Amino acid sequence: MERRVWLPDLAAVAALVTFLYVLFVFQGYSRLFHDSDAGWHIRSGEEILRSARLPDRDPYSFSRSGARWMNWEWFADLASGVAHRALGLPGVCVLFAGGIAATVWCWFQVQWKLGSNWLFACVLAVPLLGTIQLHWLARPHIYGWVLMLGALWWAESKRSSARLALFTAGAALWANVHASFLFAPALALLYAVCRLLRPWIWKLDPAEEHAAARYYFWAAALSAAAGLANPYGWRLHQHVFEYLGDRELLSFIGEFQSFNFHAAGSWQILLAFGLAAAGTLAALRYQRLEHFLLGSALLCLALISARGLPLAALLLLPIAGAHLSRLWTELGSTGALRPPLCRFLARGYDYGERLRRLDRTAAGGFLVPPVAVMICALSAPFLSERVSFPPSEYPVAAAARLERLAPELFQPSARLLATDKFGGYLIYRFDGGLKVFFDGRSDFYGRQFLNDYRRLVQVRPGWPELVARFRFTHALLPSDASLADALERAGWRVLYRDAAATLLKGN
């Protein structure tokens, strides 16, 4: 067929639509910064640019000032720092909207690699977007999504030394971007073990399966070794395992808790979970043991932790699309159903296949990036006026007056009590010049600190002793926080109050 260079394919169009949706409909100019960790990621990246070195001591807090800090996502921080230095907060917004769009493009490529029907892929895109919206945030995990999809695409591709080298290089990059880099050797090892087991379960050619297993074992070994190509070496692996293995520490972090499936709008997430489960079971019918085990692991993770839901949608919906598409064509051709229904299924499947053949001829995907750049340029005034941390959730107005209301806060002796959510924003707002009590780096602060923090903000017995121990001089807290009321009743003086935050000064 003739290649139509003027027409983008479905994956490119979906990526562009997602990009525009994130920026303007989803209100990404504000909601991408719903998590204040974006603040310290940006400032960390800018500091790396300034000093041309990685910080090894904490530069942001007074509670753990000078303690050793492992910035395990330094390369992602660097990208945020470059975007912020070039275009300010709108640049960071566009960077992560682009990352989300790239995730959608990669997701469609994995669909095609696995053999999903065109119509099925379009249908699955609805629960996909509804699920991954949970974590549309300006944080490094967005890059991890792209790399995970790339790893699955590689695992389903033809075996070659060139692809093996590409996978190894990607694993080295991944180790400097996000803690999910351990997925690369784990996925390769899973495929290797399953290739060894498949001849014991089904009548398959052992020689072919063993050859594939050797390839994947090599990939697992090389990607594991490539993961050591980071500034911290094996200590990064130790740190990640200790952090993810500390159940008590993770119990303090909301996104590691189970998702509330009774929440409003959760039907798309339930749909994604159900389709992923159906695809996981169907994998056994088509002798794809690796898909079954991968799906089982990710579905368990999704039930335990809300962070696992986007991963299940991203990686398992393409698997579901492929296996359910095969089941669809079988039902339409075997005559197991009534003839009218068989004809309907067969015609629908054939129609999707014809659309996919046409989609392959659309070679205008290269037009999408310049179109996205043009749209961003035209909407620059709109974005520059609106991009910010949400003023209803952060002390935006209070921070604007902080230097006038309490200039002593910027002295080394100052001790500002603020929540972890406020901490990340204050690091960004004052470029690390105002030392914080706590921010979102839970792995850095540790379990005992989070125990004390929870006792303090929940005004549990012993909280006055913690106030005395940390020698707080001021407090900046959500206006509806119990601790703000408790401090005021204890004699602290209110310097400022609005709907989002209250600033108090100690006795």
198-229 per-position pLDDT tens digit:
999 999 999 999 999 999 999 999 999 999 99
Give the torsion sign (CA, 288, 134, 89, 477): negative
CA distances, 83 to each of 33, 79, 281 (Å) = 15, 6, 43
Q: pLDDT tens across 467-488, in order?
A: 999 999 999 999 999 999 999 9
- Give me the pLDDT at residue 335, please: 65
Q: How far apart are CA 154 and CA 16, in angstroms?
A: 24
Mean pLDDT of the chain: 93
- Contact between residue 309 and residue 141 where contact means Cβ atoms under 8 Å apart: no
Helix residue ranges, H only, 406-462: 420-429, 442-457
pLDDT band, residue 256 (cuts 50/70/90)? confident
Give pTM, 2 decimals.
0.95
Q: pLDDT tens across 32-60, in order?
A: 999 999 999 999 999 999 999 998 899 99
Strands of the 501-505 sheet, one edge to the other: 416-418, 474-478, 501-505, 493-497
Pairing mode of beta strands 474-478, 501-505:
antiparallel
- What residue type is 458 in one-letter code? Q
Residue with tokens 């095609």: 112
Q: How far apart are CA 174 and CA 189, in angstroms?
A: 17
133 has a pLDDT exceeding 70: yes
| Proportion of the chain above pLDDT 90, given as a percent | 78
Q: How far apart are CA 133 and CA 137, in angstroms?
A: 9
pLDDT band, residue 1 (cuts 50/70/90)? low
Higher pLDDT, 346 or 501: 501
Neighbours of 142 (CB within 10 A): 25
- How does DSSP classify residue 4? B
- C-alpha 389 chain-centroid distance: 18
Q: How many residues in the chain?
A: 507
- Give me the pLDDT at residue 411, please: 87
- Give me the pLDDT at residue 306, please: 92
- Contact between residue 193 and residue 214 where contact means Cβ atoms under 8 Å apart: no
Of residues 457, 493, 454, 489, the one with CA closest to residue 473: 493
- Contact between residue 457 and residue 451 where contact means Cβ atoms under 8 Å apart: no
Q: pLDDT tens across 76-114, in order?
A: 999 999 999 999 999 999 999 999 999 999 999 999 999
150 has a pLDDT exceeding 70: yes
| Proportion of the chain above pLDDT 70, given as a percent | 99
Q: pLDDT tens across 418-460, in order?
A: 999 999 999 999 998 999 999 999 999 999 999 999 999 999 9
- How does DSSP classify residue 437? S
